[in-house]
Amino acid sequence: MKTVIIILLSLISTSKLKAQEKPKDTLFFKYDKTYINAYVEIPSHFYLDDSSGGNNGSFFFKKGEVKNNLNPKKILSLKKYVRSSKFYDKNKKLEDQKLAALFSNYVVFLVKNSTKKTEYIHVESGIEIE
Q: Of 37, 43, 65, 39, give the one whose Cα is nearest residue 124.
A: 65
Statement: residue 127 has pLDDT above 60? yes
Statement: residue 19 has pLDDT above 50? no
Nearest-angstrom CA–CA distance, 119 and 31: 10
Mean local confidence (pLDDT), 76-87? 87
Nearest-angstrom CA–CA distance, 35 and 71: 23
Q: Which tops the pLDDT comparison, 94 or 26?
A: 26
Q: What is the pTM of this model?
A: 0.76
Mean local confidence (pLDDT), 17-32? 75
Q: Is the dihedral of CA 117, 122, 126, 129 positive or negative?
A: negative
